[in-house]
Amino acid sequence: MSVKSMALTLWDVIKSTEFKVAKPKVDGLKKPRPIQAKYDAIVETMKETYGFRIRKWRNSMSGCAWELKDKQGNISRMVESPYPKGPMSCAIFLHEVGHHAIGFHVYKPRCLEEYKAWEWSINAMIANDVRLTDNVLKRRDNSLSYAVAKALRRGLKNVPIELEPYIPEHMKRVP
């Protein structure tokens, strides 16, 4: 056999490799969580009601909502968030849906829009009988404190009354 006939290409190696698909062990199977059906239904209901698409399900506990307008004026609504699997991921998902539900640029300043989206999210959790945990409320509070601090750093003169509890201590004005 010549050396030339023994040389393998990458494709030869890939084709000859048997790909084994791991079969789940019966003992290690997780039972489906009954609560997941509730989260799945919330996702479908929200998509149908507010007409947005999921651009991406994020692995992190962060989200983003936005609208795209084409030359004809058609609006595409988009969301990125974690897939709801528990109270925190559900709250973040519903917060992003809240931006579409309340409308963009309806509330000024931007930190007030964040407040309204969180308010909508919390109300949606209650309406859908999703457990409202202390961690979810802490996440909301931290998010709003961050939004208010950012607005103040950027020159916001008057903080809306709803957001006064979220002004960070080091940024409060002394009378």
Asked if residue 16 belongs to a domain, the reply is no
In a domain, 128, yes or no: yes
Give 119's Cβ-side CA count (13 Å radius).
10
Is 11 part of a structural domain of the chain? no
pTM for the structure as a whole? 0.81
Residue 27 lies in a domain: no
Is residue 14 very low, low, confident or very high in pLDDT (cuts 50, 70, 90)? low
DSSP for residue 84: P
Task: Find how far residue 42's CA is from the centre of its chain.
Answer: 14
Flag whether 21 is in a domain: no
Number of domains forming the structure of the chain: 1
Q: Is 25 part of a structural domain of the chain?
A: no
* Helices and strands in the chain, H and E counts: 6, 3
Is 136 inside a domain boundary?
A: yes
Classify strands 75-82 and 52-58 as parallel, antiparallel or unpaired: parallel
Q: With 90 as the cut, is the pLDDT of residue 4 above it?
A: no
